Structure 1
């Protein structure tokens, strides 16, 4: 049963999972309600379920592995942003932020931008698809677990221990995850990272002791001043802006939070503002926003349980196709041995995946940023890895065919064998029957014509490994292996780094220096 608490809050028992949730109705000032929710979540904490905390630790560790690898290999955007950060000094009266691989304090927002850029650069960390069928909230907006550096920066500045920092991390994931269920930014050409910016502004300001009005002002500033458009993801060849979008959103969010804490008053009641992005794009009656917003409070009633892991470097909507290839070559190794003999590779995939990773412009990528968003390239590279694996007697599974940074090197992208496979590849929209299965799943099928084995495959894949509905233990094992492979050449002791990144039980002093460990090839500052 639901009972009202204030004009902005309605409490209810979380169903179908255990735990409580809070409802911010569309008729209330949701920005103020979100501020109150953040403050209560951090300062009047209810018990969080062990399964939620463990999943949060997994997503954070996965993000760190991605970031460390990107920096060690000299990826451009995070290196540029890290150099920019390390050239600054902390603002007066602050402890400053810490970049991956350095103990030198710098401007907080610059450290956040550098770290979030590193985490996101490989496009290999966690994903959400904005889907809660039990509540009927299925807007299906994308999002990624890019924003943990904001929580770590808040911990350093506010003196939070590991337990409190995990709550800030969870708060960010919960807000952006639930917004993704009720408002599809992509429909209006707005980049999905904006939901993350709203979450970061609210969580950061609350973690640093902000009042309800200050947190609401931080949210208002982000919504009014910092709306990124999907121009960063359009075009034949993608740029550094694709991978750094979350980083720049996080930077803006932290700056908004800090300005609000200093007394700057941003727009209030912004979700009901008739000229803010929500009502401009989805008109509704005065005094309302386009959606109700329900947020987890305790137990395991959190959106993180519907978020997904990536098992290598690839745009997540290609996971169903990769699984289909793995299933096919695993059952028919002859296919992997004789790629030159394949006469046709036919792929069916849902929208919006087709428009994002399979449009004709994606058939000839020349940059890494375009290649990891090219379904033809991803499948061709997976098939080539399968040929190498079968020749060496290696397993034809996710472990054996894991896509890693080397698979997106300039040499790999220029390999003539890639183009030969793509020439035989046709990718078409699956139509309404496929589209209806998203965002619950990642519906894809791959069919191959082989000269001796005939027509193979064609089975619909909906929940590839790594998906929240796939085998959890098996997913965890592959994600753990991915971490080891990504950081193997980047740090002296991968196991020690794994242990260091365990946030549970950390003191405030340990949290303040969490990311200050050496990375091979990185300037320590």
Structure 2
């Protein structure tokens, strides 16, 4: 779609922390401009997608969400607080603990929305990653402040806008900083603003997050990934709420932190005194919001593998006998871009031992997809996105240790596609897959740049597959998936309904 609407520029030579505070107060309360229906509709879909992921992770007893949820349920609200609820429980908990538990559940499968920080029209193409993990902050803030659904949607959009625009101008990964830091800054702004914070207090909350709580990519290092990778957004959300609470209570944090020479921005990208390294432009109204460049995942996989998955789906469509005859595959050659090559194709990813490593392993993701395609073909179904959708069971311990997986991975070569591929990122996800097959010869679907789920792919087709993903994730976890879908429609909800939004039963889950 053509994105139009009003924006607000925070120039590099101004106090952008203060500017974010003023912007948030205006956007939520002081001068809220009309937001396009397309924007709110897309936001509702991203939120629903995140809830499906969270419900599934809790129902299946995923470790990090279970630990954090148990901790939250054992921690009552602080004096004077309404508290917040965890997914699947009506019990009121300490707000920041509930936020951590819910954000951890949303993020655990690594299957919700994604952004790559790219706005070519404005020349802002830093390409930092990010995910739609922070809606629990907005829901908790609305509940604590007594706000209804329309205000909650604005809080969600504010978080996505701030973190999305920061991702366009400052690439945290270049400095070994985890991408969740942008989300923490956005969460602190939204929470403090929702609770009536002044510009001074909101600026203090930002300063505390930047000065005290910077997460490094140590959580992603090593041959096998741990709970810390999946829970990174949750823990950053937790400290963002803590920082906002303290600022609202009178704690004064560092001011003007984006121009602070010892904070991460100027420390890593030195610039003239009195400036930050970037301008920051934020949507105010219409459809001028970063959410329109964010992407959906159509299953459980690291999003940078989406181009390779689309290549396989295209090959199955062009060569209907391929899925049924995997034994005829001699070699599989994948060409991919940086940074994907370093993240999902490093040698350790050929032998994943944990789910967190498997869903960040391009060889495993492709091998499992090939096996699902064969199963679909044998049942008479087409090998497409729907039948090949990767779900939690595809990353179980038994699945990871499946004997068919190593044989397929052994046939794979993953190579860096070079500058031609690199230059197409972060606008797209440039990938090509070439298969040498005994019967079919050498076949390729060509270069894929905008796989299904990408913001520039077929919107209606993406929506249909995302809806199916939700149904599959929550099947067996809730009594009525359709009723849950209706419950999650946020617009026009009352403050009481927002306060209990996540307090629905989940099968096999401790209700607290």
TM-score range, shorter chain: over 0.9
Given the alignment of the two structures, is residue 83 of structure 1 paired with residue 73 of structure 2, yes or no? Answer: no
Given the alignment of the two structures, is residue 352 of structure 1 paired with residue 328 of structure 2, yes or no? Answer: no
Task: Give the C-alpha shift of residue 458 in structure 1.
Answer: 4.8
Q: Is 1:354–1:428's contact at 8 Å kept on the other side of the alignment? A: yes
The Cα offsets for residues 207-241 of structure 1, whole Å up to 9 and x where unpaired, read as 11000000000000000000000011111100001
Q: Which of 12, 30, 53 is the equivalent residue of 2:16?
A: 30
Counterpart-to-counterpart distance in 1, 2:214 and 2:281 = 23
Counterpart in the other structure of 1:17: 3
Q: Which of 285, 288, 301 is the equivalent residue of 1:314?
A: 301
The Cα offsets for residues 391-425 of structure 1, whole Å up to 9 and x where unpaired, read as 00112111111000010011110011100000010
Counterpart in the other structure of 1:445: 432
Counterpart in the other structure of 1:422: 409
Counterpart-to-counterpart distance in 2, 1:391 and 1:456 = 22
Given the alignment of the two structures, is residue 197 of structure 1 paired with residue 163 of structure 2, yes or no? Answer: no
Counterpart in the other structure of 2:143: 156
Counterpart-to-counterpart distance in 1, 2:410 and 2:386 = 27
Q: Is 2:315–2:445's contact at 8 Å kept on the other side of the alignment? A: no
Counterpart in the other structure of 1:339: 326
Counterpart-to-counterpart distance in 2, 1:394 and 1:403 = 16
Task: Give the C-alpha shift of residue 19 in structure 1.
Answer: 0.9
Counterpart in the other structure of 1:3: none
Given the alignment of the two structures, is residue 492 of structure 1 paired with residue 470 of structure 2, yes or no? Answer: no
Task: Give the C-alpha shift of residue 519 in structure 1.
Answer: 0.3
Given the alignment of the two structures, is residue 329 of structure 1 paired with residue 299 of structure 2, yes or no? Answer: no
Superposition pairs for residues 179-198 of structure 1, below 5 Å? Answer: 179-198=166-185
Q: Which of 375, 387, 397 is the equivalent residue of 2:362?
A: 375
Superposition pairs for residues 452-491 of structure 1, below 5 Å? Answer: 452-491=439-478
3-state SS of paired residue (2:78)? coil
3-state SS of paired residue (1:344)? strand
Counterpart-to-counterpart distance in 2, 1:263 and 1:101 = 34
Counterpart in the other structure of 1:513: 500
Superposition pairs for residues 76-225 of structure 1, below 5 Å? Answer: 76-225=63-212
The Cα offsets for residues 39-65 of structure 1, whole Å up to 9 and x where unpaired, read as 000002100000000000000000000
Task: Give the C-alpha shift of residue 341 in structure 1.
Answer: 1.9
Task: Give the C-alpha shift of residue 333 in structure 1.
Answer: 2.4
Superposition pairs for residues 40-55 of structure 1, below 5 Å? Answer: 40-43=26-29, 44-55=31-42
Counterpart-to-counterpart distance in 2, 1:496 and 1:37 = 36
Given the alignment of the two structures, is residue 389 of structure 1 paired with residue 363 of structure 2, yes or no? Answer: no
Q: Is 2:373–2:388's contact at 8 Å kept on the other side of the alignment? A: yes
Q: Is 1:406–1:412's contact at 8 Å kept on the other side of the alignment? A: yes
Q: Is 2:335–2:417's contact at 8 Å kept on the other side of the alignment? A: yes
| Count of aligned pairs between the two proteins | 511
3-state SS of paired residue (1:333)? coil
The Cα offsets for residues 283-324 of structure 1, whole Å up to 9 and x where unpaired, read as 001110000000000000000000000000000000000000
Task: Give the C-alpha shift of residue 16 in structure 1.
Answer: 6.6
With the length of structure 1 as denominator, give the TM-score of the two structures.
0.97
Of 337-346 and 512-521, the range deviating more from structure 2: 337-346
Counterpart-to-counterpart distance in 1, 2:364 and 2:216 = 25
3-state SS of paired residue (1:401)? coil
Runs of 4 or more, structure 1, over 2 Å off, are: none
3-state SS of paired residue (1:347)? strand
Q: Is 1:48–1:300's contact at 8 Å kept on the other side of the alignment? A: yes
Counterpart-to-counterpart distance in 2, 1:261 and 1:188 = 31
Counterpart-to-counterpart distance in 1, 2:480 and 2:284 = 37
What is the Cα-based RMSD across aligned positions, in Å? 0.8
Task: Give the C-alpha shift of residue 17 in structure 1.
Answer: 2.6
3-state SS of paired residue (1:447)? strand
Counterpart-to-counterpart distance in 1, 2:137 and 2:427 = 29
Counterpart-to-counterpart distance in 1, 2:407 and 2:87 = 40
The Cα offsets for residues 231-271 of structure 1, whole Å up to 9 and x where unpaired, read as 11111100001100000000000000000000000000000
3-state SS of paired residue (1:343)? strand
Counterpart-to-counterpart distance in 2, 1:474 and 1:233 = 33
Superposition pairs for residues 247-286 of structure 1, below 5 Å? Answer: 247-286=234-273
Task: Give the C-alpha shift of residue 325 in structure 1.
Answer: 0.6
3-state SS of paired residue (2:498)? helix
Counterpart in the other structure of 1:68: 55
Which runs of 5 or more residues in structure 1 are unaligned? 1-14
Which runs of 5 or more residues in structure 2 are unaligned? none
Q: Is 2:314–2:445's contact at 8 Å kept on the other side of the alignment? A: no
3-state SS of paired residue (2:321)? helix
Q: Is 1:16–1:134's contact at 8 Å kept on the other side of the alignment? A: no
Counterpart-to-counterpart distance in 1, 2:381 and 2:254 = 58
Counterpart-to-counterpart distance in 1, 2:448 and 2:186 = 32
Counterpart-to-counterpart distance in 2, 1:413 and 1:359 = 17
Counterpart-to-counterpart distance in 2, 1:200 and 1:163 = 18
